[in-house]
Amino acid sequence: HFATVARVPGDPILSLMEAYRLDSNPARLDLGVGVYKDAQGLTPIPRAVKLAEQQLIDSERTKTYVGGHGDAAFGALLSELVLGAGSALLAEQRAGATQTPGGTGALRLAGDFIRHCLPGRGIWLSDPTWPIHETLFAEAGLKVGHYPYVGADNRLDVEAMIAALTHLPKGDVVLLHACCHNPTGFDLAPRDWKRVLEVVKARELLPLIDFAYQGFGDGLEDDAWAVRLFAAELPELLITSSCSKNFGLYRERTGALIVCAADAEKLLDIRSQLASIARNLWSTPPAHGAAVVAQVLGDEALKRLWLDELEGMRQRVASLRRGLVEALAPHGLSERFAHIAEQRGMFSYTGLTAVQVQRLREEFSVYMVGSGRANVAGLDATRLEQLASAIARVCVN
């Protein structure tokens, strides 16, 4: 049976983790996979999460299945976090969350929903985007296309993006990154979002907004600005929300697909479809991470603690961005890399070429993705000069 099964390459981003582990150079730097790290290079469990887990151990009475849409308290609290506590959509019961295994599960559920319920619609991704977007929607059977996002000069090209969106087939789905664009770190400004919204309305596009880094850009509320603008201005919207980064729950696979519909009745139709699709994918979602999030968001003190910790992560990355640009100044490179301080979230499209990335790895044990994407959170303040010198070396010759 299995004789014809060939081997395929592993995930290039996750493989970097392994290569880094095997590197014995004490000066090695891991700027590869997109997980937050603290100054010690660890990916910590937030204290609020740990406390919530301890409370759950004591209070949990059953492990029986949760329903197809998952933990209802989690769904309600996460929807508020994303759409805003005073959201009219929530009051009108026009928006609802279906709990999924991480943001990836939410994306796959959205992909299958589009193929089942909106047949013939293509999905359009930014060029570049998170590589899993490319394969996941293709696997879900959708026709995948691209709109320009970052130009050859490694700058956000809003004009090219808008021009391309203007020509998309009416009714197609456009995937947008809510904030902290992966892999580039280049985010749309509010005026750009408003222009995108106008094109979405004119072409009757359906936005699918991937929200994997809420709290890592300009702050928890500011990062939701575009999502809330679209939710207020459009009758229909899909949002995939991930708790992996902002709650540090990566391996607990915690996220949701939030659907905004024209009215409460239509939302129920859509949710019946989502539960039916999810049944064939994972039946019911994993409970633990969602219970933790519900515990944190539902408790004043835990929520305050979590907000502080999240803000600490955000500020650490922002200060590392500024620090790296400063450290590049003595090498005459601060202007060339000024964009690193302007980008948002963990990732930076540095503008380094594949050859330079390879040299950084082979000669300096600095690990980043071949596209020139660096996870800035993998740095620490005492290593900025080391990295700046290495970058200077590969940029000069």
Contacts with ligand PLP by CB under 6 A lie at: 34, 102-104, 130, 177, 182, 210, 212, 242, 244, 250, 255
Give whichever of 186 and 250 is closer to ligand PLP, judged by the CB atom.
250
18 interacts with ligand TYF by CB under 6 A? no
> 3-class secondary structure for 247-312?
CCCHHHCCEEEEEECCCHHHHHHHHHHHHHHHHHHCCCCCCHHHHHHHHHHCCHHHHHHHHHHHHH
> 3-class secondary structure for 232-251?
HHCCCEEEEEECCCCCCCHH
Using CB under 6 A, which of 29, 31, 33, 142 touches ligand TYF? 33
Give whichever of 87 and 350 is closer to ligand TYF, judged by the CB atom.
350
13 interacts with ligand TYF by CB under 6 A? yes
Q: At its nearest, how many Å lie between ligand TYF and the CB of residue 135?
A: 9
Residue 113 contacts which entry, ligand TYF, ligand PLP, none (Cβ below 5-8 A, type-dependent): none
374 interacts with ligand TYF by CB under 6 A? no
Please choose, out of 10-18, 86-94, 168-176, 279-287, the segment that lies near ligand TYF by the rule CB under 6 A.
10-18
Residues 6 or more apart from 368 whose CB is under 8 A from it? 16, 31, 32, 350, 352, 357, 360, 361, 374, 375
Catalytic residues: 130, 210, 245
Residues forming beta bridges with residue 206, ordered by sequence position: 173
* Residue at shortest CB range from ligand PLP: 102
Residues numbered 163 to 182 that lie near ligand TYF (CB under 6 A) are 182
One-letter amino acid for residue 14 of the chain: L
Give whichever of 246 and 365 is closer to ligand PLP, judged by the CB atom.
246
Burial class of 210 by CB neighbour count within 10 A (0 to 12, 13 to 18, 19+): buried
338 interacts with ligand TYF by CB under 6 A? no
Binding site for ligand TYF (CB under 6 A): 11, 13-14, 33-34, 130, 132, 182
